[in-house]
Amino acid sequence: MSKNIPDKVSNRLTLYHSILAEYIEKGHEYISSPQIAQRLSIDDSQVRKDFKLLNNAGKCRVGYIVKELKDSIEKTLGFAKAKDAFIVGAGHLGLALAKYDNFNSYGLNILALFDNDPHKIDIQVNNKQIFHISKLPNLAQRLNVDIAILTVPRQYAQEVADYLIDSNIKYIWNFTPAVLDVPPHIKVWNENLIASFLQFACKEIA
Amino acid sequence: MSKNIPDKVSNRLTLYHSILAEYIEKGHEYISSPQIAQRLSIDDSQVRKDFKLLNNAGKCRVGYIVKELKDSIEKTLGFAKAKDAFIVGAGHLGLALAKYDNFNSYGLNILALFDNDPHKIDIQVNNKQIFHISKLPNLAQRLNVDIAILTVPRQYAQEVADYLIDSNIKYIWNFTPAVLDVPPHIKVWNENLIASFLQFACKEIA
């Protein structure tokens, strides 16, 4: 993914991509910018402007060629490079993410889940096994995984993050509301649902 | 919430807010911008710049007064106005969100969950009841709820969204990967986990 694509544009590109995937499923060959714009309640000049950032957006006289446009978005956003990750915390959120099949098509492979609850160990979720957390250091090393998706309860977040870091995890996608304290070489990406809701509330809710 | 605060700033303000809540829990009275910056791996000039957007950030000689800074963020982000919402889809994701206590302190009150699975009906989750989806139109009207958090499987997303709109829901926080087709007066906020992951991958993952 090109580093100079702003977050809002890459956000829209993934939404366009979902619409294109739907069009392909339905057997449509062409799509126009107003058709896309209408689905997202945005202006079609915005859509056209975003497509100018793509190499070879597949524009022709009758609109965009769905397949070419989709490929171009994938190339631009860098879906091709697959990345392996573990989910740490097999509660409702961890299980929901394990079942979220869409990740796979965007290059995120969830290999396994981890929890400390003996009742959950060895259960299969969407073809991924839940292991005891004590198996994580060894599996991370053997499978060469350095990305963890953290979905434990807030009060355990820091303790588990410390354990992950000791296990050579370098990237933490943090779904807990906790603000993690980590050394400078560890990268944390906070999935801030509160901020997202506040943006929704402020921009859209009367 | 003031409309002219950029998304990235409001995002950081909620993270600062979490750190401040933690400081209050621990009994600390003051906090410095470098202390906050270090926790988020950002520059402390960024933190100070963000605080300049707040009215009365509570700055004094020894740092910021934790309580005043926290209140000021709350006022700026508009936590005060509470909003009621329903969760539609009591699968793992719906249950995870129902248990996410943090929403409450940021003004989002989840009143109930809805599903069509008879095995889930009448179960209580975090003091919220799961009702059959057929009860939604009536409850939405009686409780004056016009916000729905959509957590059904992707393939039912559009059909359920149509049903919600017929039930006078006006705001849909869409956690499904489906791009919803809605009339212009309905506001949809897409929680785009794929876009979030791609931003993480592109900015931070080597």
| ipTM summary value | 0.81
Measured between alpha carbons, how far is B56 from B111 in angstroms, rounded to an integer?
34
pLDDT at A80 over 80: no
The reported pLDDT for the residue numbered A82 is: 82
pLDDT, tens digit, 9 for 90 and up, residues B67-87: 999 999 988 887 757 889 999
- Length of chain A, in residues: 206
DSSP-derived letter for residue A96 is H
Phi-psi label, residue B168: left if phi above 0, alpha if psi -120 to 50, beta otherwise: left
Angle B4-B10-B16 from CA coordinates, rounded to 5°: 145
C-beta separation of A72 from A56 below 8 A: yes
Tokens of A1: 């993914």
Q: Which residue of B has its CA nearest to A23?
A: B179
Query: pLDDT tens, A141-155?
Result: 999 999 999 999 999
Which residue is closest to B16 within chain A, CA to CA?
A179
Beta carbons of A88 and A42 less than 8 angstroms apart: no
One-letter amino acid of B123: I
Encoded tokens for B132: 């059959």
Per-residue confidence (pLDDT) for residue B95, from 0 to 100: 96
> Between chains, do B199 and A189 touch, taking CB under 8 Å as contact?
yes
Tell me if B96 and A91 make a contact (CB, 8 A cut-off). Answer: yes
For position B80, what pLDDT does the model report? 59
Q: Distance between CA atoms of B118 and A78, rounded to whole angstroms? A: 42
Please give the Cα distance from A77 to A75 (Å, whole number): 6
B196 pLDDT band, cuts 50/70/90, is: confident
Cα dihedral sign, A96-A181-B39-A83 = negative
CB contacts of A83 in chain B (<8 Å) are: 201, 205
Q: Do B14 and A184 touch (CB under 8 A)?
A: no
| Rounded alpha-carbon distances, angstroms, from residue A133 to A167, A178, B12, B154, B193 | 11, 20, 31, 30, 25
Residue of B nearest to A194 (CA): B103
Contact A4, B188 (CB under 8 A): no
Top pLDDT among B151 and A105 is at: B151
What's the CA gap between B99 and B110, in Å, rounded?
A: 10
Query: Do A125 and A87 form a contact (C-beta atoms < 8 A)?
Result: no
Model pLDDT for residues B45-65, shown as the tens digit of each residue: 999 999 998 987 778 888 899
Calpha distance B142→A165 (Å, rounded):
50
- Residue B88's Cβ-side half-sphere holds a number of Cα atoms within 13 Å equal to 33
Residues B109 and B80: their CA atoms lie apart, in Å, by 12
Task: Tokens 């079609």: give the residue.
Answer: A44
Q: Which residues of A touch B158 (CB under 8 A)?
A: none
> How high is the pLDDT of residue B62?
84
Whether residues B22 and A179 touch (CB distance < 8 A) is answered with yes
Average the pLDDT over each of A87-101, A112-126, B3-17, B152-166 and give the range with the smallest value. B3-17
CA dist B139 and B112 (Å) reads 9
Mean pLDDT of A59-65: 87
- Give Cα A131 distance to the centre of its chain: 22
Q: Which residues contact residue B183 at a Cβ distance below 8 angstroms, ignoring those fewer than 6 apart?
A: B165
Which residues of chain A are within 8 Å of residue B7 when distances are taken between CB atoms? 8, 195, 199
User: Which residues of B fall within a CB distance of 8 Å from A19?
Assistant: 179
Query: Which two structure tokens, joined as six digits, stand for B146?
Result: 């016009």
pLDDT at A135: 98
End-to-end CA distance of chain B: 36
Secondary structure string (H, E, C) spanning A133-158: HHHHHHHHHHHCCCEEEECCCHHHHH
Q: What percent of chain A has pLDDT over 70?
A: 98
Rounded to the nearest integer, the mean pLDDT of chain B is: 90
User: What's the Cα-to-Cα distance from A58 to each of A26, A31, A55, rounded to whole Å?
Assistant: 19, 10, 9
Cβ neighbourhood burial of A173 (10 Å; 0-12, 13-18, 19+): buried
DSSP B82-97: -EEEEEE--SHHHHHH
Are residues A109 and A82 in contact, defined by beta-carbon separation less than 8 angstroms?
A: yes
The DSSP secondary-structure symbol of A55 reads S
Report the residue from B179, B189, B203 with minimal CB separation from A200. Answer: B189
Q: How confident is the model at residue B123 (pLDDT cuts 50, 70, 90)?
A: very high
Query: Helix or strand or coil: residue A122?
Result: coil
**Cβ within 8 Å, pair B205-A147:** yes
pLDDT at res. A200: 81
Question: Residue A206: its pLDDT value, please?
Answer: 63
* Per-residue model confidence (pLDDT) at position A59: 83
Count of C-beta atoms within a 10 Å radius of residue B17: 23
Residue A2 above 80 pLDDT?
no
Q: What is the pTM of this model?
A: 0.84
